[in-house]
């Protein structure tokens, strides 16, 4: 009836990074075909939002692949550390946000950027954040991850001058509305120049950071 | 066709405070009749959310009345200071929130409680808040007013142990949704034991504080 | 890659109560590490919104722990009754709200406050509430729990003078919208001085009550 | 280009009542043409939701017409009382709801049904409602009007056995959402057999009552 | 800790019908206790929204009970037909709405009212409805059930003069929003005097019909 | 600072129709410059959603222009009838929808298509629609306009086989939500193959009809 | 109690196509009865949105039936290709949209229309779309399927003159809101004359295309 | 009663830019006091979202001030061009977006950054965008402004590698929901690494660009 997919072959030369696969809605059959194609072309590939059961099925076929259960990220071939200098600081309000923080972390690693994750600096215990300020100043870009009321980027944005990409998470319940409250709070932050991604989009924040670092010439 | 209104005559003995009139949707004719009734009974009364043009019309008839344009509060007879001790601290994120802060302030004054308003301690300039902590510790109850992303109650709640009543305001634009974002953020605060009122409900926060102070025996 | 969590060590001295763990989004691995840490420090800890399967896994390791299935509350060490005087009355509209009522009850118990739960005083059978008024007058603080249309706090607020913390629950269906209708109804209550928490947040209501009781000097 | 309107000529024989005109979105030109048509046919007609300025323009042409500013109802010819027996009780939570209550009242009058409006029996002062129960028992149908949290129909529904038509109003502010909260609260009422109309739809409630009274044979 | 439930013992004398139990959020333990209590008092009881697995567990204990899987209604003792005259017509747009239609049907049966269900008269095939008009005219009250765009009550309301209770269902997908679109469409119907219940609330429609029939004297 | 606008010069050859200007958000200065440009190029142009005051200001400069107040459409040069055959039937539920119906009508006229508007065939008086069926069968495409509950396209879609473009209007109040309810109802229509435009988008419906007629070869 | 369903027997002669069954909410018992009925009448039938487990149960009884897991379409009897000319082009932004694309494809096949599916021409890699323009020009009607931000129909609408039916899909996460964002984006497209269906409604798009092709005389 | 405002005096040293005043909700009295304070300190200041009537009142006092009506930006002292090199490209889908584009432009100018505005490169006439690609490649950062369906950032993000800040505008009508649709579309863009601001927040986008340029060392 139709070909199943079209790979965006010149994205790297056009944009400076490769295509990435959204795993959530694809069947295991389609994913196998895609990974076969990348294997045949001897290329690496990143899959986001891949459920555990699909991942384990793929892992049994693609033995070199890496999968992180918290972030649901799947990488065809293991990636290695690139340098010892941290370019991007990924900070989160609570340890429940680890999945989204890790999605940003592994995406950056895959793109060749070294990042550091710092959890549990939420504003309900402000001293934890204030004690981390000197470390936070050393990063080129900050990715700030928070669920519930999403106040962390606002406080960080009032304290630090770097580019700040705020990532709301679906952590919370009730009127947290699966992250919509955190998203809206970040978008209406009274701190200046905070920019925002979709809910749980650690991947997108990493790509935004990559665009910024590419500008700086890394 | 029908009697126009029924005054809740024993509210004071039942609840410890008098009935208050919601002014927004009432006609000027009805308001005049109500104020006449209270004047005849030689009682004072408070009207909330009263538009400027209606207020000025009433002021021309009821010469002793007081009206605050920022908060749209109207009081039949001027009230006087009760003491020099501040029981309630009303703090706000920005000077745009002055209307809601004043609504809480005048309601408390009317109920015989001394309060103090402290504006512009928003979290985007955190030092302004941190410099105020010692003053804030002296209040029995804190009413924390904020629009936009509504982060202030969360930060205050992580720093101070008193009862905290958070009041979202409709200050902001776009996805601030006339205060809905601040409201939801306050309700999902990761700080503990923050309680919340309707958007722009400075009056309700004051009444909540009154219930608490009545418990303490003031 | 990163440390997993940061405990907020001085919260007790700062706010008068200890840190509490949000259990819903944390992995069983992380929860085990956290409980180990608290056990090592010989401290007790409370976990909220913990699913049954995770709780049973933890219970097999931490033999002294307590878990209530209705409220999904987990406490590292069994707590004992503190006094025979009830400070807080927790009343609910229907027996379906028992989970949220219990969350408030156990949180208060853990914090050393004695509370009493009174179910099924919903306004559709008003006499049940009216018959309970004398008992309700004896409490310092009222936590009023309701789902569906959430009318109970409004009626209670018109009858009783104490601080009232309203807790909407997700009980209901259709346009009850998982508690959003009850939440909004409570926030727009025509009764005076009702304050509100997030949907199903019995824990937050208990903490709000604790702040008030601390003010009174218990 | 086209004829401007089509009158539904046999509605009376089909449904037992005449067509009614929705005035809010119609131009003054169109309304004049419609009223001319009804005058020519020597028939009466009811227009709902007619803004004051349009009404006054029409009143200058149609000298016998009646207009009620609170309810924005316009009737081509004055109507007269039909009997002294009240069939329908229209009760409201606050005097701000008078417009919607009147819309129901005048619609019923126009249809030949005698109704009585009772304002200010809101649940925040429950005794006012409880004192009215004996009167309320005398009506065949109850139309219960409320804004803000819309709790009144729930309480009435738990006390009285008649058909109850609940009408939410747009009275309120903030998260009252122009009546949406009251609407949703009424729809999720834990009282049994409450039926509901659109926000501010006093007209629709009257028509619903008419269908019921027609069944009873009035 | 607390008594588990309070039965509303005089509802029948007050309102003309007995209390009914909302089954969706209650534990199997609580439901067993409730049914034991009713059995001990030798009374019948109706439970709504009871999931299949809970129902089957109860059925193994209470052998005389009746359960309808489509409507999730559970009745402690089988009910018998009361008469051969149909008082209420329950019509639905599609056969997918059978669960909600049955909920109304069995509730009415339990209350002693004979009803008839007529499925598949949706407006997309208008002739099926037009062919049924003569039958529909014979009912005292019409309960009109529809999902998707919920147009059926509007068309019926333009054709027939009886009291019409519209019940939106959650049948549909996408922007049907689990019944919210049908609900809003019914509330804004351009047909006159349509009254509406919560989504999937066949039970509430039946109770509304009962109030009307009680007025008529059945 | 920048050029003010870029005209899409080859749209006609690419798509078969010219660019059209959205008038709602443009300043009168910008609109004058645009019209000057079109006048200089000796071309006609259509402006949609143009407020009355702006239109009258432009009419004083561009004497040949045409403006329809109901639909807020402005055309630089008067257009003339093209034929006597009606290709498109534009039908509406009520005469309040005339503005949107006219927007479709004048857009089609401007594009050279003859259309006919038929108002007041709403489903609450079904016979008016059924009486029009023979006329409706003669059109190539049907544009069906409705506000409130938006049921008309569903009924028409069940009776007639042509392409049907449904246009929701913002006519209504309360939970009609400025047309959102009608929009969602049309999108979830149980009639087959109904396609939908944005609220009040008579222009878009006309353009959709034009694409269809172009396919047929008119 | 009632007959279970009414088949719309003359839909073909009235509208040019047969009735189709919505499978999502129907029980397996009801579906079996329906299929038996169609088998007995020796007719074919199409069922949409049929879950895999129900489908497999039906397939075991109806051996000639066809089921496509991606689109959840079930057809009583296998259908055969009708011609080699493609009338309708079904294009999608990503391979995750295959289910909705296939729903349109199989519905058209069932109705006797030949279509072609072209996946992965999303606007993030614009060259893939631009390279396909010459092929896309050959279709009579375009069905454009997209999830996430739903930008594809806008870009296609600016490039091509045919009738374009846009179908939003629920592919995406977070603020994509199960397709609501794509739906709203398509409805507000700045491209001219795009018409839209419900989320995931590939079936409806196919039926809309069929109405258009019937007009052209295929 | 209280001091009126607190200026955040060390923001420049902390974050690299000065405080800015949100003008929408402040009274003319308060704004005059603020501007006096800045004049006294001999500093410049920027006010955003200032309505025309307030601006003209201030302009009559502060003669050197600059006000742009489209963007509602007010600057205490005229600013001068800083260089001839454009760092930031501000592109918009339509000329109706000029206000938001200008807000970004003047904010950047005020902060000492040279920017260029390019209007009318919306995706409905794709060639206009494709023809601008070479110019767009020369900017360090792209601010992409769009209303309606907000598709422009997605297309730009697939073509160009720079940091892209997407700004949704409230231009549109109906289901465009005052910019909410464009906002959600941008947040769910299938292009990689797009970051987003609040609706109409040209100011915030400029500040985000400033953070990025500060990192690069300008």
Quick: pLDDT tens for E2-17. 456 676 767 777 887 8
Report CB contact under 8 Å: G119, A6. yes
pLDDT tens figures, B136-158? 999 999 999 999 999 999 999 99
- CA-based nearest distance D116→chain F, Å: 25
Q: Which residues contact B128 (CB under 8 A, 6 or more apart)?
A: B120, B121, B122, H6, H8
Is pLDDT at A156 greater than 80 in this prediction? yes
| Residue from the list C187, C198, C211 with its beta carbon closest to the beta carbon of B197 | C187
Is pLDDT at D218 greater than 60 in this prediction? no
Q: Which of residues 21-80 of H touch G (CB under 8 A)?
A: none
Work out the widest C-alpha separation in chain A, in whole angstroms.
61
| Residue from the list A4, A180, A199 with its beta carbon closest to the beta carbon of G95 | A4
In the block, tokens 């209504």 appear at: F172
Lookup: tokens for G200: 């995931």
Q: Of H102, H106, H63, H60, which Cα lies nearest the Cα of H81? A: H106
Lookup: tokens for A149: 């009321």
Nearest Cα residue in chain C from A170: C25
In the structure, what pLDDT confidence band is assigned to residue C1 with cuts at 50, 70 and 90?
Answer: very low
Q: Is the dihedral angle over the CA atoms E48, E49, E54, E60 positive or is it negative? A: positive
In the prediction, which pLDDT does F173 show? 97
In the prediction, which pLDDT does F132 show? 92
Any chain F CB within 8 A of the CB of E118? no
- Tell me how far apart the alpha carbons of residues F66 and F79 are, in angstroms, rounded to a whole number: 8
| Residue from the list E22, E25, E198 with its beta carbon closest to the beta carbon of C175 | E198
Chain H hits for A192, Cβ within 8 Å = 15, 17, 20, 204, 207
| Residue from the list E8, E22, E178 with its beta carbon closest to the beta carbon of C128 | E8
- Tell me how far apart the alpha carbons of residues C105 and C66 are, in angstroms, rounded to a whole number: 14
Averages of pLDDT over runs of 10 residues in chain B (218 residues) are 62 80 91 92 92 96 94 89 81 92 96 92 86 95 97 95 97 97 97 97 97 86
Chain A hits for G174, Cβ within 8 Å = 168, 170, 178-179, 183, 198-201
Worst-scoring range by mean pLDDT, E208-212, F161-165, G19-23?
G19-23
In the prediction, which pLDDT does B9 show? 67
User: Chain B interface, mutation test: which of D84, D173, D182, D200, most B Cβ atoms within 10 Å?
Assistant: D173
- CA-based nearest distance D170→chain E, Å: 15
Worst-scoring range by mean pLDDT, D200-214, G33-47, G199-213?
G33-47
CA distance to B32, B47, D190, F180, per residue, from B51 (Å): 14, 10, 36, 30
Cβ neighbours, 10 Å, residue F3: 10
| Residue from the list B126, B189, B192 with its beta carbon closest to the beta carbon of A149 | B189
Nearest Cα residue in chain E from F125: E158
User: Chain H interface, mutation test: which of G126, G188, G194, most H Cβ atoms within 10 Å?
Assistant: G188
In the prediction, which pLDDT does E65 show? 95
Nearest Cα residue in chain E from F187: E175
Q: Are strands H88-92 and H73-75 parallel, antiparallel or unpaired?
A: unpaired
Asked if chain G contacts chain F via 3 or more Cβ pairs within 8 Å, the reply is: yes
Is pLDDT at F1 greater than 70 in this prediction? no
Chain F hits for H118, Cβ within 8 Å = 2
- Tell me how far apart the alpha carbons of residues G153 and G146 are, in angstroms, rounded to a whole number: 8
| Residue from the list E127, E128, E173 with its beta carbon closest to the beta carbon of G24 | E173
Any chain D CB within 8 A of the CB of E147? no
Lookup: tokens for C74: 């987990």
Average pLDDT over residues F36-44: 90
In the structure, what pLDDT confidence band is assigned to residue G82 with cuts at 50, 70 and 90?
Answer: low
| Residue from the list H1, H5, H6 with its beta carbon closest to the beta carbon of B105 | H1
Is pLDDT at G54 greater than 60 in this prediction? yes
Report CB contact under 8 Å: F186, E149. yes
- Tell me how far apart the alpha carbons of residues F151 and F183 are, in angstroms, rounded to a whole number: 10
- CA-based nearest distance E207→chain D, Å: 4
Lookup: tokens for A195: 């920019």
Asked if H176 contacts F198 with a C-beta cutoff of 8 angstroms, the reply is: yes
Chain E hits for D150, Cβ within 8 Å = none
Lookup: tokens for E107: 């509730």
In the structure, what pLDDT confidence band is assigned to residue A205 with cuts at 50, 70 and 90?
Answer: very high
| Residue from the list H140, H194, H211 with its beta carbon closest to the beta carbon of A164 | H211
User: Chain A interface, mutation test: which of B94, B95, B97, B124, most A Cβ atoms within 10 Å?
Assistant: B124
Is pLDDT at G3 greater than 70 in this prediction? no
Worst-scoring range by mean pLDDT, A67-76, C198-207, D9-18, H127-136?
D9-18
Report CB contact under 8 Å: G214, F161. yes
pLDDT tens figures, A12-54? 788 888 778 999 989 899 999 999 999 998 889 999 999 999 9
In the prediction, which pLDDT does C148 show? 96
CA distance to A137, A188, D158, per residue, from D185 (Å): 50, 29, 15
Nearest Cα residue in chain F from D26: F96
| Residue from the list C198, C206, C210 with its beta carbon closest to the beta carbon of B188 | C198
Is pLDDT at H2 greater than 70 in this prediction? no
Q: What order do you get walking across the sheet with D73-75 strand by strand?
A: D21-22, D46-48, D73-75, D66-68
Average pLDDT over residues F31-54: 93
Write the ipTM: 0.93
In the prediction, which pLDDT does E1 show? 42
Report CB contact under 8 Å: A176, C170. no
Report CB contact under 8 Å: B124, H30. no
Any chain A CB within 8 A of the CB of G119? yes
Q: Are strands A46-48 and A73-75 parallel, antiparallel or unpaired?
A: antiparallel
In the prediction, which pLDDT does F201 show? 98
Report CB contact under 8 Å: H185, G157. no
Q: Are strands B115-118 and C115-118 parallel, antiparallel or unpaired?
A: unpaired
| Residue from the list F16, F195, F209 with its beta carbon closest to the beta carbon of G161 | F16
Nearest Cα residue in chain E from G20: E124
- Residue H200 main-chain phi, psi, to 5 deg: 65, 15
Alpha helices in G5-91 (DSSP H): 11-15, 28-40, 52-61
Assign B22 to helix, strand or coil: strand
pTM: 0.95
Chain F hits for E172, Cβ within 8 Å = 188
In the prediction, which pLDDT does E82 show? 62
Asked if B166 contacts B182 with a C-beta cutoff of 8 angstroms, the reply is: no
Report CB contact under 8 Å: A216, H215. yes
Worst-scoring range by mean pLDDT, A90-104, C83-97, C126-140?
C83-97
pLDDT tens figures, C118-142? 998 888 788 889 999 999 999 999 9
pLDDT tens figures, F158-193? 999 999 999 999 999 999 999 999 999 999 999 999
| Residue from the list C119, C128, C175 with its beta carbon closest to the beta carbon of E2 | C119
Any chain H CB within 8 A of the CB of B125? yes
Chain G hits for E171, Cβ within 8 Å = 22, 24-25
pLDDT tens figures, D86-104? 899 999 988 899 999 999 9
Which chains, if any, share at least 3 CB pairs under 8 A with chain E?
A: C, D, F, G
- Tell me how far apart the alpha carbons of residues C217 and H164 are, in angstroms, rounded to a whole number: 55
Lookup: tokens for F196: 């939908």
Average pLDDT over residues D2-7: 62
Locate the DSSP E strands across C27-178.
46-48, 66-68, 73-75, 88-92, 115-118, 141-146, 164-168
In the structure, what pLDDT confidence band is assigned to residue E179 with cuts at 50, 70 and 90?
Answer: very high
Which chains, if any, share at least 3 CB pairs under 8 A with chain H?
A: A, B, F, G
CA angle E66, E67, E70 (to 5 degrees): 145
User: Chain C interface, mutation test: which of D122, D124, D177, most C Cβ atoms within 10 Å?
Assistant: D124
Report CB contact under 8 Å: A185, B181. yes
Any chain H CB within 8 A of the CB of G176? yes
In the prediction, which pLDDT does G32 show? 94
Any chain D CB within 8 A of the CB of C91? no
Report CB contact under 8 Å: F201, H171. no
- Tell me how far apart the alpha carbons of residues A161 and G46 are, in angstroms, rounded to a whole number: 60
Q: What order do you get walking across the sheet with E88-92 strand by strand?
A: D115-118, D88-92, D141-146, D164-168, D195-196, E195-196, E164-168, E141-146, E88-92, E115-118
């Amino acid at each position: 009836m139709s070909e199943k997919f079209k790979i965006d072959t010149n994205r790297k030369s056009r944009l400076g990074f490769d295509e990435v696969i959204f795993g959530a809605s694809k069947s295991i059959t389609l994913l196998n075909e895609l990974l076969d194609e990348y294997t045949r072309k001897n290329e690496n590939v990143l899959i986001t939002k891949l459920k555990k059961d699909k991942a384990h099925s793929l892992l049994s076929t693609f033995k070199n692949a890496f999968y992180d259960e918290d972030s649901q990220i799947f990488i065809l071939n293991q990636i290695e550390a690139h340098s010892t200098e941290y370019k991007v600081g990924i900070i989160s309000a609570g340890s429940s946000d680890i999945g989204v923080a890790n999605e940003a972390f592994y995406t950056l690693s895959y793109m060749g950027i070294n990042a550091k994750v710092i959890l549990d600096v939420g504003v309900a215990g402000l001293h934890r954040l204030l004690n981390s300020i000197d470390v936070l100043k050393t990063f080129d870009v900050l990715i700030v991850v928070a669920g519930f009321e999403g106040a962390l980027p606002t406080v960080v944005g009032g304290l630090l001058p770097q580019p700040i990409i705020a990532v709301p998470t679906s952590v919370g319940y009730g009127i947290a509305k699966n992250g919509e409250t955190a998203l809206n709070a970040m978008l209406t932050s009274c701190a200046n120049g905070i920019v925002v991604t979709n809910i749980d989009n650690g991947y997108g924040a990493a790509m935004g950071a990559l665009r910024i670092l590419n500008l700086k010439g890394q």
